[in-house]
Chains A and B, each alone.
Chain A
Amino acid sequence: MGWVWARLKLRTTCDWKGVWGRVKPRTPCWSGENHELMRHYGSLPLGQVYANIWFAVKSFVDEVAAVPGGEHIRNCIQCGVCTGTCPAASEMEYPPRKIIALIRAGMRHEVLSSPSMWHCVSCYLCTVRCPRDIKPTEIAHALECLAIRQGFRVQGTRTPAMYRSFVDSVQRNGRVHEFGMMLKFYLTTNPLAALKITKVGLQLLLHKRMPLLPKKVKGREDLSRIIQRFRAVRSSA
């Protein structure tokens, strides 16, 4: 009954930090993992808080299996071909095989707050080599989506910021404006790091491969309307 109680409490208060303080001692059935999760609620909208609580009750592996791309996760035999293959494994605290093991062990917080999947370069080598058709590449991206949706703030990788700049650029222009995207990325992460690639940037400019202004794209407005509509359709479903 703990979680029903928590829902009521959450509904009647708007002090999120306070909620966390109150929910914690009364939610034994959620185990330690979920207390970790609650730490992130401070900045989340109410709907997401509910979503998270709902997911906390469901097992983590079910949750990943429900995301497109995560379907086959239960069939993994932990053979390690994916990690053995992965060109980014050395940068990952939890390379593909291990992350699957962690998901199945219910380590939601460890997984979703980890920078590991953000290092996936989408080479699909693991996917073609996996003997069980797990598609670890898709799992990596599914985890990224979950982490974003559940508001995890990930340390140790700048990929989410890069993806965010990309998506913002698309949503603003209809197409990616590469210069604008890079600019935003460096401004939001580490402007000084941009210095390292000034040479690359200059060369691209000189070779006319980096227009400074975005093109006006004909379908831009259409696209944003379509996206808006899709969001509405999806949330009502």
Chain B
Amino acid sequence: MEPRIGVYVCHCGSNIAGTVDTAEVTRFAQGLDGVVVARDYKFMCSDPGQELIKNDIRDLDLNRVVVASCSPTMHEPTFRRACQEAGMNPYLFEMANIREHVSWVTEDREQATEKAKSLVGAAAARVYYHQPLETREVAVNPNTLVVGGGIAGIQAALKVADSGQKVYLVEKDPSIGGHMAQLDKTFPTLDCSACILTPKMTLVGSHPYIELMTYSEVVEVAGFVGNFKAKIRKKARYVDEDKCTGCGVCQTKCPWKADSEFELGLSQRKAIYTPFAQAVPNTPVIDKEHCAYFLKGTCRACEKFCEAGAIDFEQADQFVEIEIGNIIVTTGYASFDPTPIAQYGYGRLDNVISGLEFERICNSAGPTEGEIFLKDGSHPESVAIIHCVGSRDEKYHEYCSRVCCMYSMKFAHLIKEHTDAQVYELYIDVRSFGKGYEEFYNRVLSEGTVFIRGRPAEVTDVAETPEEKGKLIVQFEDTLAGLQRRLPVDMVVLSCALEPQPDTDVVARLFNISRSADGFFLERHPKLDPVATMSDGIFVAGCCQGPKDIPDTVAQASAAAAEVLAVISKGTIEIEAATAVVDERICSGCQFCKMVCPASAISFDEEKVVCRVNEALCKGCGACVGVCPSDAISLSHFTNEQIVAQMEGMLAEPVGKPT
């Protein structure tokens, strides 16, 4: 069948036509080998644009189509579908990206036009060699893995499980809850964080469709959308989850203590502990590093007193393998450590504390039972809250952490609720963008909190006047008054940035998720695909994708659940027709390909001493093709012939301009 190619050059309004001479590109295309028709049009992706292609396929008997427009990630599916609707195999279509690769990155019209021409030439040369391929459908495993049990993970797990689908929720800490469990009240409505969170935690703990694995980590992931395999390490708790009744007697009897992680080191916990009272599950863990028995070989007090006989010092880490169809990653954020900003004195000056520490101090279940104390046991008479610590600062994080203004104002309110202290908010810009947020700002203003616009220069205890003696002095410019000021206060709260978890790189590699410049996970599209990632079947939600408040976190988590449920309810997914094929006559059986295949799609036939590709598993990534020393593997839709033709098309001397 002689190739009959149609080429369509899109203007994309002025996006392309503003820089590229589309008429010239069309004229150029008309002269290319096998091209029967070339046209340019305002918007190829519009209905009339697609009709143009369809009509030509029918009327001119086209069997190949090239569209020169935007990125294939935008519209390749659109045009493939159009071709298919006109009766052409969609794999006989090829796209040339003359927007992102040309008009948006080139200023010179002539150069842009030349580049567009060479890309179109390349596409036409390539499509010449395209072969019709058939897409395949595979069944979707309906189970879902949720990684991270903060509010994002909890919400996503509940939404999926409530529809009757199985969810594995993996949390690295002994309890789910994440940061929200540490908060006191939540802006702007000031509902108690624990009161709204714990019912959801309990639901997770008892949900028939949720298998909760706390104190666990995902260590391996293989497969692809619809059919993933994951290996999970359940760290030894030294407490038998099935036997433990959660009575807590072990924790009262244990003689050894360590700083409580949950309380940020503001108080202590035992060596056998649950992080907080409402922990889910309520099963404690033994912290080996601080346990007398593990360190010295004697004690076992917990064992003696546990009536359920749940203590098991012999327990070892367990590895569990699960099969799932989709994964939602909700690993959350870390709070920025302000120690490196030496001029704010954190860690050096008493009564300079971080935002999260303030949450604990203010919390009636916290180390001070909700009383706001200074180090010396007195109550503060004045408190300064410093915004943007570690945020909006090129030395640390360039981005705005989005929640700090709001939680700072929440602090101001809470301080007023708990004490008679004067509160100062030192801000650069107040960002109260959400529903009810500006109203909350107004409320805090009217409560008498003093707002000062100026990023503080430093916090010091070096007094310059008698009034400053014994105080923390915040030095700043009151930018609106135009004055350099020194403000003596008793307590300074640093509203620290939200930053990516320290192990984000490891998790990103494990799940094959990209990261944006700020270090957080990158969504597939910032506006139109905010919870998907570049890896099909892997979704992100909550603060692991970027700083956000609870309402946004929950909305995103629900969105991720909906995405997953959409895949599950369809039941099957279409997979790429482009797969690798081994030419068994050439294969030497070295198995290099098997080693590099990320989808575990290659198996080794011992008898014939050759490798074979499982088409259902192959993702068409091409890793095997690159590594095969004897050129035995080729990738359909990326054959040598096609790629060489594409290069030749690109490098060809421009054919004389037809007049």
- Spell out A's residues near B (CB within 8 Å): 77-86, 89-90, 95, 97-98, 125, 129, 131-133
CA distance A90 to B464 in the complex (A): 15
- Spell out B's residues near A (CB within 8 Å): 343, 388, 392-395, 428-429, 453-458, 475-479, 482, 484
CA distance A68 to B388 in the complex (A): 30
Known: A80-B454, A80-B455, A84-B477. A132 touches B394 (CB 8 A): yes
Query: Which residues of A lie under 8 Å from residue B477 when comparing CB positions?
Result: 80-84, 89, 95, 97
Is the beta-carbon distance between A86 and B343 smaller than 8 angstroms? no
Is the beta-carbon distance between B393 and A131 smaller than 8 angstroms? yes
Please name 7 pairs of A and B residues whose Cβ atoms are closer than 8 Å in the assembled complex, sorted by A. A79-B392, A79-B479, A80-B454, A81-B476, A84-B456, A89-B477, A131-B393
Q: Of A77, A78, A84, A131, which contacts B484 at CB under 8 A?
A: A84
Min Cβ gap B457→A in Å is: 3
CA distance A54 to B240 in the complex (A): 82
CA distance A230 to B395 in the complex (A): 37
Is the beta-carbon distance between A89 and B394 smaller than 8 angstroms? no
Query: Which residues of A lie under 8 Å from residue B393 when comparing CB positions?
Result: 131
Closest 8 CB pairs of A and B: A84-B457, A80-B477, A131-B393, A85-B457, A83-B477, A79-B455, A80-B454, A84-B476
Closest to B427 in A: A79
CA distance A89 to B475 in the complex (A): 12
CA distance A79 to B458 in the complex (A): 13
CA distance A133 to B388 in the complex (A): 16
Query: Which residues of B lie under 8 Å from residue A132 when comparing CB positions?
Result: 394
CA distance A86 to B456 in the complex (A): 12
Closest to B397 in A: A131
Is the beta-carbon distance between A84 and B392 smaller than 8 angstroms? no
Is the beta-carbon distance between B455 and A81 smaller than 8 angstroms? yes
Min Cβ gap A11→B in Å is: 37
Taking A77-B428, A95-B484 as known contacts, 17 extra A-B pairs with beta carbons closer than 8 A to each other, sorted by chain A number, are A79-B428, A79-B454, A80-B453, A80-B454, A83-B477, A83-B484, A84-B454, A84-B477, A84-B484, A85-B458, A86-B484, A98-B482, A129-B343, A131-B388, A131-B393, A131-B394, A131-B395
Min Cβ gap B491→A in Å is: 19
Interface centre among A78, A84, A86 (most CB of B within 10 A): A84
Query: Which residues of A lie under 8 Å from residue B343 when comparing CB positions?
Result: 129
Is the beta-carbon distance between A89 and B484 smaller than 8 angstroms? yes
Give the interface SS of chain B, mostly helix, strand, loop or mixed: loop
Query: Which residues of B lie under 8 Å from residue A89 when comparing CB positions?
Result: 477, 484
Known: A84-B454, A84-B457, A95-B484. A77 touches B479 (CB 8 A): no
Q: Of A77, A90, A129, which contacts B457 at CB under 8 A?
A: A129
Q: Of B392, B395, B476, which contacts A80 at CB under 8 A?
A: B476
Closest to B484 in A: A89
CA distance A90 to B388 in the complex (A): 26
Closest to B429 in A: A77
Closest to A131 in B: B393
CA distance A236 to B478 in the complex (A): 47
CA distance A39 to B428 in the complex (A): 38
Min Cβ gap A223→B in Å is: 38
CA distance A90 to B458 in the complex (A): 16
Query: Which residues of A lie under 8 Å from residue B458 when comparing CB positions?
Result: 84-85
Query: Which residues of A lie under 8 Å from residue B456 when comparing CB positions?
Result: 81, 84
CA distance A95 to B482 in the complex (A): 9
CA distance A1 to B512 in the complex (A): 61
Interface centre among A85, A95, A97, A98 (most CB of B within 10 A): A85
Known: A83-B484, A89-B484. A131 touches B479 (CB 8 A): no
Query: Which residues of B lie under 8 Å from residue A77 when comparing CB positions?
Result: 392, 428-429
CA distance A81 to B479 in the complex (A): 9
Query: Which residues of B lie under 8 Å from residue A80 when comparing CB positions?
Result: 428, 453-455, 476-479
Min Cβ gap B614→A in Å is: 53
Query: Which residues of B lie under 8 Å from residue A84 when comparing CB positions?
Result: 454-458, 475-477, 484
Query: Which residues of B lie under 8 Å from residue A85 when comparing CB positions?
Result: 457-458, 475
Query: Which residues of B lie under 8 Å from residue A98 when comparing CB positions?
Result: 482
CA distance A70 to B593 in the complex (A): 55
CA distance A85 to B428 in the complex (A): 15
Query: Which residues of A lie under 8 Å from residue B484 when comparing CB positions?
Result: 83-84, 86, 89-90, 95
Interface centre among A82, A83, A90, A98 (most CB of B within 10 A): A83
CA distance A95 to B477 in the complex (A): 10
Interface centre among B429, B456, B458, B479 (most CB of A within 10 A): B479
Is the beta-carbon distance between B479 and A97 smaller than 8 angstroms? yes
CA distance A131 to B397 in the complex (A): 9
Query: Which residues of A lie under 8 Å from residue B476 when comparing CB positions?
Result: 80-81, 84
Min Cβ gap B600→A in Å is: 47
Is the beta-carbon distance between A131 and B392 smaller than 8 angstroms? yes
Min Cβ gap A87→B in Å is: 10
Known: A89-B484, A129-B343. A83 touches B479 (CB 8 A): yes
CA distance A80 to B474 in the complex (A): 13
Query: Which residues of B lie under 8 Å from residue A133 when comparing CB positions?
Result: 394
CA distance A132 to B475 in the complex (A): 19
CA distance A50 to B455 in the complex (A): 41
CA distance A81 to B474 in the complex (A): 12
Query: Which residues of B lie under 8 Å from residue A82 when comparing CB positions?
Result: 477
Query: Which residues of B lie under 8 Å from residue A97 when comparing CB positions?
Result: 477, 479
Query: Which residues of A lie under 8 Å from residue B454 when comparing CB positions?
Result: 79-81, 84
CA distance A28 to B343 in the complex (A): 49
Query: Which residues of B lie under 8 Å from residue A86 when comparing CB positions?
Result: 484
Query: Which residues of A lie under 8 Å from residue B482 when comparing CB positions?
Result: 98
CA distance A89 to B479 in the complex (A): 12
Query: Which residues of A lie under 8 Å from residue B453 when comparing CB positions?
Result: 80
CA distance A215 to B476 in the complex (A): 46
Known: A84-B457, A86-B484, A89-B484. A78 touches B479 (CB 8 A): yes
Q: Of A90, A95, A125, A131, which contacts B455 at CB under 8 A?
A: A131
Min Cβ gap B636→A in Å is: 50
Closest to A79 in B: B455
Closest to A90 in B: B484
CA distance A132 to B398 in the complex (A): 9
Min Cβ gap B81→A in Å is: 45
Closest to B486 in A: A84
CA distance A165 to B600 in the complex (A): 77
Min Cβ gap B656→A in Å is: 45
Query: Which residues of B lie under 8 Å from residue A131 when comparing CB positions?
Result: 388, 392-395, 455
Closest to A85 in B: B457
Closest to A133 in B: B394
CA distance A78 to B478 in the complex (A): 11
CA distance A77 to B358 in the complex (A): 28
CA distance A98 to B482 in the complex (A): 8
CA distance A101 to B136 in the complex (A): 62
Closest to A134 in B: B394
